[in-house]
Amino acid sequence: MNTRKQNGFSRPYHPFQIATWLMSLFLVAVAILITLILETSLQIVFSLLFWPAQILYWILGVLATCSDPTDPLVYQQEYAINNGLSFDERNREAVCTICSFYVAGNSKHCGYCNRCVSDFDHHCKWLNNCIGGKNYKLFIYLIVVLEINGLIFIIFGLYTIIDRYSYQETKEKWIDIYGETGEQVIDAFIFFQTSISLAVFLANGKLIIFHIWLRSNGMTTYDYICQMRKKNKIMSHTEATSGEKADVNSNRSNEEISPRNHYPETKTLIGTSEELKIVEGATMRPSDTDSFENHKNLSG
């Protein structure tokens, strides 16, 4: 069995997580280039806006990755076992059938991290960590700061590109400083990074709107996935009972994107020591992601 992940810095690292940090470093490198190109007054404005947002983004990124959203009951039981103590019976709210720990009723087992997370929302590949009750606010602050930082970069990136293509003297100034080849490379870097930032800004904006919508409906991402799963179940049941002829190929593709495949069901026992009930739980696999587009795709 896989060892339990403590936080997003526990191995194995996810390729998306490494890509995030590399992209962030590239963004900073291009931001330095833009700073050098801008005239003094704009240099100051850009620096005062970009750097505080960028540094805050890094701090929040590290904090969200470091955070451990594991259900505290798991640690209480481990402490009791290691010290030969008995576990408080009153905490027997539910039991995870995968890790066998007593957990809170709202905990879910993340298959990728192999642990139960209280107030589970989703597993984030970009942070290589679960998002639950303990770090949900950090996650929201992080994506909001990412959005603000992206907007600042896009405004100045676009300004630099427009200035470079609109005024011959700007182009000549660049060539004077960096030479013909250097000017072309810098131009390509700024254009590339501005395009990436724009794509991230739009995707992340959707994610923020999705989470605002979730919270206004009193739901977590996981609740949303469960709701979509139920909807799909009802739809497939209706199709089966309506006597429609099954199309083998289309059924196969529906199965591939079915939420059930990404979130296989397990059973969690819940109740007191005398009276245990069975409720639906879930395991998440490494393929799960936090992108809004993916959730939409999962819904079929």
Cβ proximity to Zn ion: between 28 and 98 the closer is: 98
Which residues, 246 to 265, sit near Zn ion by CB under 5 A?
A: none
Cβ proximity to Zn ion: between 163 and 288 the closer is: 288
Least distance CB 275 / Zn ion (angstroms):
21
Three-state secondary structure string covering the chain: CCCCCCCCCCCCCCHHHHHHHHHHHHHHHHHHHHHHHCCHHHHHHHHHHHHHHHHHHHHHHHHHHHCCCECHHHHHHHHHHHCCCCCCHHHCCEEECCCCCEECCCCEEECCCCEEECCCCEEECCCCEEECCCCHHHHHHHHHHHHHHHHHHHHHHHHHHHHHHHCHHHHHHHHHHHHHHHHHHHHHHHHHHHHHHHHHHHHHHHHHHHHHHHHHCCCCHHHHHHHHHHHHHHHHHHHHHCCCCCCHHHHHHHHHHCHHHHCCEEEEEEECCCCEEEEEEEEECCCCCCCHHHHHHHCC
Give yes or no for residue 214 binding Zn ion (CB under 5 A).
no
Which residues, 77 to 136, sit near Zn ion by CB under 5 A?
A: 96, 98-99, 109-110, 112-113, 116, 123, 130
Cβ proximity to Zn ion: between 70 and 193 the closer is: 70
CB atoms within 10 A of CB 241: 8
Residues across the chain:
300
Cβ proximity to Zn ion: between 96 and 146 the closer is: 96
Least distance CB 273 / Zn ion (angstroms):
19
Least distance CB 116 / Zn ion (angstroms):
4
Least distance CB 79 / Zn ion (angstroms):
17
Least distance CB 109 / Zn ion (angstroms):
3
Cβ proximity to Zn ion: between 130 and 298 the closer is: 130
Least distance CB 185 / Zn ion (angstroms):
40
- The encoded tokens of residue 235 equal 């739809």
Which residues, 186 to 205, sit near Zn ion by CB under 5 A?
A: none
- Interface with Zn ion: number of residues (CB under 5 A): 10
Least distance CB 201 / Zn ion (angstroms):
26
- The encoded tokens of residue 48 equal 């005062």
Cβ proximity to Zn ion: between 237 and 285 the closer is: 285
Least distance CB 133 / Zn ion (angstroms):
14
Cβ proximity to Zn ion: between 27 and 124 the closer is: 124
- The encoded tokens of residue 269 equal 């026992």
Whether the Cβ atoms of residue 92 and residue 272 lie closer than 8 Å to each other: yes
Three-state secondary structure string covering 120-136: CCEEECCCCEEECCCCH
Cβ proximity to Zn ion: between 111 and 150 the closer is: 111
Residues that bind Zn ion (CB under 5 A): 96, 98-99, 109-110, 112-113, 116, 123, 130
